[in-house]
């Protein structure tokens, strides 16, 4: 039987206490699911390229790239878990994932977003040291310290999420910071670091554009309905930031374009491909 616009639909028709499901036309479903699948798929694919690039090519094994790798993992998990779950709940206006996942999901989302914020903060700190004190950069910033900071940051955000859940107050942490990329090991000329810092200004601007509306919306949540178009726009602008970060790398960083070319052409499976020079200017 064809469903009419005014017909009542339930999330679980066999349960008398089921919530009422919002009516949507077939075309609305097609558009929404296409958008959801596209954003989720591209976010996972682009960030997977970043993760493979930094993990495989030896020249990219630097402290700053480790922080970028941490951010890419957070962005990939956003596309793999957060966007599909939140998108399905928004489109269907029902929760089909059960009570247990309803309890666990806020912990996962909080940890993922916290990992993203922590990674961006550490990258901004790393770049600040590289620009302001380049001659002591390799002494202050080491690979082991980067590993410790990333591990501690992710672990502490997970523990904090558990504490919030016990109080039934699981919410996304309100933290904003910045990000950038390295130029290899050793002391780097200050002009190179300054150029890198200017390039990352675009990434920082995109990050703030995506996140600030959400923070503002959190402050006016009492005066604006949670399911209004304003909040929907804020949330999805926030989620799409995870897809934008790799695009910034592709736009500004030659090493990323070179590594992606070798990944997509399967050249990375050749022997000794991990030692490929992804910085042609350093021959």
Q: Does residue 113 fall inside a structural domain?
A: yes
Q: Does residue 47 fall inside a structural domain?
A: yes
What CATH number does residue 187 fall under? 1.20.1070.10
Which H/E stretch holds residue 10? strand 9-10
Residue 65: HSE in the Cβ half-sphere, 13 Å Cα cutoff: 21
Q: Does residue 209 fall inside a structural domain?
A: yes
Q: Does residue 19 fall inside a structural domain?
A: no
CA-based diameter of the chain, in Å?
74
Q: pLDDT digit string (tens) for 222-271?
A: 666 666 777 788 888 888 888 888 888 887 888 889 999 999 999 888 88
Angle at CA of residue 246, ends 212 and 101, nearest 5°: 65
Q: Does residue 279 fall inside a structural domain?
A: no
For 278, which DSSP code? S
Q: pLDDT digit string (tens) for 12-70?
A: 665 656 666 777 788 988 999 999 999 999 999 999 999 999 999 998 888 888 888 88
Alpha-carbon span 187 to 175, nearest angstrom: 31
SS3 sequence of 84-109: HHHHHHHHHCCCCCHHHHHHHHHHHH
What pLDDT score does 78 carry?
A: 94
Q: Does residue 149 fall inside a structural domain?
A: yes
What is the model's pTM? Answer: 0.78
Alpha-carbon span 146 to 76, nearest angstrom: 20
Q: Does residue 97 fall inside a structural domain?
A: yes
The residues, ordered by sequence, that sit 6+ positions from 3 with a Cβ below 8 Å of its Cβ are: 9, 23
The alpha carbon dihedral of 151, 152, 157, 160 has a sign of: positive
Q: pLDDT digit string (tens) for 15-25?
A: 656 666 777 78
Alpha-carbon span 145 to 14, nearest angstrom: 56
Among candidate residues 65, 36, 37, the one with its CA nearest the CA of residue 52: 65
Alpha-carbon span 246 to 203, nearest angstrom: 10
Q: Does residue 105 fall inside a structural domain?
A: yes
Q: How many domains does the chain have?
A: 1
Residue 45's domain comprises: 24-266
């Amino acid at each position: 039987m064809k469903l009419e616009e005014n017909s009542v639909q339930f999330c679980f028709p066999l349960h008398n206490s089921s919530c009422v499901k919002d009516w949507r036309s077939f075309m609305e479903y097609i558009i929404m699911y296409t958008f959801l699948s596209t954003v989720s798929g591209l976010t996972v694919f682009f960030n997977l390229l970043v993760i493979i690039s930094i993990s495989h090519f030896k020249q990219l094994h630097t402290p700053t790239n480790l922080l970028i790798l941490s951010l890419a993992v957070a962005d990939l998990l956003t596309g793999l878990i957060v966007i599909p779950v939140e998108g399905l709940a928004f489109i269907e206006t029902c929760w089909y994932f059960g009570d247990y996942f309803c309890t666990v999901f806020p912990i996962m989302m909080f940890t993922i977003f916290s990992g993203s914020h922590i990674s961006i903060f550490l990258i901004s700190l790393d770049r600040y040291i590289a620009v302001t004190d380049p001659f002591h950069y390799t002494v202050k910033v080491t690979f082991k310290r980067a590993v410790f900071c990333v591990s501690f940051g992710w672990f502490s955000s997970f523990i904090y999420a558990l504490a919030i859940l016990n109080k039934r107050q699981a919410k996304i942490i309100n933290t904003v910071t910045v990000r950038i990329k390295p130029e290899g090991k050793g002391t780097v000329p200050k002009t190179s670091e300054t150029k890198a810092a200017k390039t990352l200004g675009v990434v920082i601007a995109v990050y703030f554009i995506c996140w600030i509306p959400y923070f503002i919306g959190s402050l006016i949540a009492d005066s604006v309905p949670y399911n209004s178009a304003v909040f929907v726009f804020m949330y999805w602008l926030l989620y799409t930031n995870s897809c934008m970060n790799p695009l910034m790398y592709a736009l500004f960083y030659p090493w990323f374009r070179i590594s992606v070319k070798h990944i997509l052409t399967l050249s990375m499976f050749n022997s000794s491909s991990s030692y490929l020079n992804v910085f042609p200017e350093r021959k």
